Amino acid sequence: MIMLKVSTGIDFHRLVEGRRLWLGGMYIPHAKGLLGHSDGDVLLHAAADAILAAAGGGDIGSLFPAEMKETDGITGKEIVGAIYDSGLAARVEIINMDVVIICDTVVLKDYMEKIRLSAAAILRISIEKISLRAKRSESLVFSESNDGIAAFCTCLCDVK
């Protein structure tokens, strides 16, 4: 029996000096990186939350709480891997994943296809199943003094 679910994941992190910028498991050369308990990879975090939502598995904050010292610096790739290793993701077949990155100060146009390829490999889906777009918020999401990046991920999944 086919059981289709639409799920959503959202993540936001502030850009700060002294951190590396990771999106979709790919390093993006930039003067600032995303602040967080983890590497701040908003794309993989949003995708992980969408997968967990479809599987009925909570969210990454419940699996990897910020106060959990053992997971300080965990990467988005490790988060996704842990979700797959736990068996939660085995219940979910991603039919389509649509990701929108909102960012006002980092220009991503030269990296979009590489980010998409990296994310698809980490998420264990074919490249044809993931679409990726970047938009500017015109400082409506983050003001210039509070610069950051957000990702919104919507998945259509067949849940077993």
CATH level 2 (architecture), domain 4-159: 2-Layer Sandwich (3.30)
Q: Over the stretch 18-58, which tens digit does the pLDDT of each residue have?
A: 999 999 999 999 999 999 889 999 999 999 999 999 999 88
Domain extent listing, the chain: 4-159
Give the per-residue SS3 of the chain: CCCEEEEEEEEEEEEEECCCEEECCEEECCCEEECCCCCCCHHHHHHHHHHHHHHCCCCHHHHCCCCCHHHCCCCHHHHHHHHHHCCCHHHEEEEEEEEEEEECCCCCCCCHHHHHHHHHHHHCCCHHHEEEEEECCCCCCCCHHHCEEEEEEEEEEEEC
pTM listed for this prediction: 0.93
pLDDT for res 122:
97
